Amino acid sequence: MRLGKLLVYFETSPALKLLQARNAPYIIDFLDRVFKQSGQIAVPHSELLASLVLYQEELQESHPESLIDRPENYLADWCSSERRWLQRFLEAGRDEAVYQLTPYTEDVFAFLNDVLDRDLGFVGTESRLRLVIDTLSDLVVGASDDPETRLSHLRKERDRLQAEIEQIERDGQISKDQPALIRERFNLAVSLLRQLQGDFRAVEYSFRSISVDVQKRQQTGTESRGRILEYALDAEDLLKQEDQGVSFYEFVKLILSPSQTERLDKIISEVRKIPELVQQQEGLETVRNMITLLQNEAEKVMRTNQRLSTTLRRLLDGRAFAERQRVAVLLQEIQALAIESGGQAEGEELGIYLELATSIESPFRRTFWVEPPQFEAVDLSEFEPDSAERLEVFEDYAALRHLDWQQMREHVSHLLSTHDMPTLSELLDRFPLTSGVVEIAGYLQIASEDGHLVDALTHEKILISASGPGERAYVVKVPRVTFLPPARH
């Protein structure tokens, strides 16, 4: 370590800021629940906001002085440039922002997992030493270009395996690892798996930083398309040639290979049958979801890399590039005029002249680029109806909740007798939902049919609590509804 690096790290590291935050234990616990324990990589805004609201309600009973600010403020603060504990971005195919952990938050999780394991009195010293010795041994053999070195290693492995085979055939007994060693090596594997999950954030961040740099260069409009394209391709090639990029692409080949995935799936099935690991339920659950989780992580990073390709395709669009250059020139002219007017004497009026004949269009009128829909052809020529499946569908239809329209209108009338022009949120506070989002749709229909005020330009958010242990709470955004007395209909 060097003192200069330590000073800079302690001054600027978002990971240390998270550990030093006033509500650090609650923030880390909440993020661990939403992202790590649920196995989610990216969480939509509405779902994360609803989860934070529920988490704050839980804290009101045990820790009433913690996380008392509005949940929207916390999410905005955690994504700010000063914190950088969460990353907020728009994803193709979604109409709302999504969140994911940053590499700095992953570092905090890795550090705390290691420290808390030590606090529990478990340190896998023998397994770690074996891993170091085996890794160094494989390194010596794999880095050598001497055929004799490789042959000597293979002959020793052959002799060792042959001796073990002869002993088992002679005695009929095998030497099984001690239970403590089995649990120790299993926990080491789980720890490495969790660290591997955090490494994906760093790889994705590298790809995303290139895309952001390209977009910044585009916005300035001062560089030619060739220069920007050259920078992007060189940066991507350099990333792929670096150790981090090479290792990641080899990992993608491994985890997406059907033969390797099948082999890994068999290994996981055998591991879950080991009797010494029955009590390691959390670790077994992590291993059980290992393949799906790693494949989702790899695909997430690859999608980020694909967005870079999309940015480059837009760069090659001559018309869009010309528009960006024109905007850049206009901004430079405005900046030059602002500098010239900065030295005017007091009393001189500062104004602007508008050419009213010029058409003005808002840049926000242009929609975001979305990936074209992919249609999958389904062959129904040999389709055979399944009576059991049809019966199941009808049973689901019969199980739909019934709306009591008369009682819902009575709720509206009763609230109007005590409140002047109440909103839908006030109505639901007085008469909580019993049928979920379907009941909200019913109140919207009543408001439309009975002549109440429905403002489609203003929206309000309604939290729908979980109705059972296996369900989740979520937030819906609906037009603002104001119920009017009969005389004002």
Radius of gyration of the chain (CA): 31
| C-beta separation of 96 from 461 below 8 A | no
Rounded distance, CA 182 to CA 189, Å?
11
Q: Which residue has the higher pLDDT, 187 or 417?
A: 417
In order, the DSSP letters of 316-369 are T-HHHHHHHHHHHHHHHHHHHHHHHHTTPPTT--------TTS----GGGSPPP
Measured distance CA(171)–CA(106) in Å, rounded: 50
Q: β-strand 98-101 against 474-482: which pairing, if any?
A: unpaired
Tell me the C-alpha distance between 296 and 294, whole Å: 5
Token representation of residue 254:
């491994």
User: Average pLDDT of 127-152?
Assistant: 74
Is the pLDDT confidence value at 450 over 70?
Answer: yes
pTM tops 0.75, yes or no: no
Give the whole-angstrom CA distance, residue 214 versus residue 201: 20
Shortest CA distance to 108 belongs to which of 205, 195, 185? 195
Interior/surface letters 264-298, b for 16+ CB within 10 angstroms, e for the rest: beeeeeebeeeeebeebeebbebbeebbebbeebb
From first CA to last CA, the distance across the chain in angstroms is 75
Question: Which residue's structure tokens are 């985890």?
Answer: 255
Would you state the pLDDT for residue 188? 76
Dihedral pair phi/psi, residue 471, rounded to 5°: -110, 165
Provide the pLDDT for residue 153: 81
Mean pLDDT, all residues of the chain:
79
Range with top average pLDDT, 71-75, 274-278, 414-418:
71-75
Q: What gap in Å lies between CA 477 and CA 463, rounded to an integer?
A: 9
Domains by residue range for the chain, with CATH: 3-117 (1.10.10), 179-314 (no CATH), 405-488 (no CATH)
Q: Mean pLDDT, to the nearest integer, of 47-76?
A: 91
pLDDT score for 121: 44
Which residue, among 110, 341, 129, 92, has the nearest Cα to 101 in the 3D structure? Answer: 110
User: Sorting pLDDT into bands at 50, 70 and 90, what band is 41?
Assistant: confident
What would the two tokens of residue 418 be?
């005590």
Cβ-Cβ contacts under 8 Å for 195 (sequence gap 6 or more): 110
| 396 sits in which H/E element | helix 387-398
Token pair listed for 211? 């895309």
- pLDDT over threshold 70, residue 238: no
Q: What is the mean pLDDT of residues 328-344?
A: 75
Give residue-wise pLDDT tens across range 203-213: 777 767 776 77
Number of C-beta neighbours around residue 100 at 10 A: 19
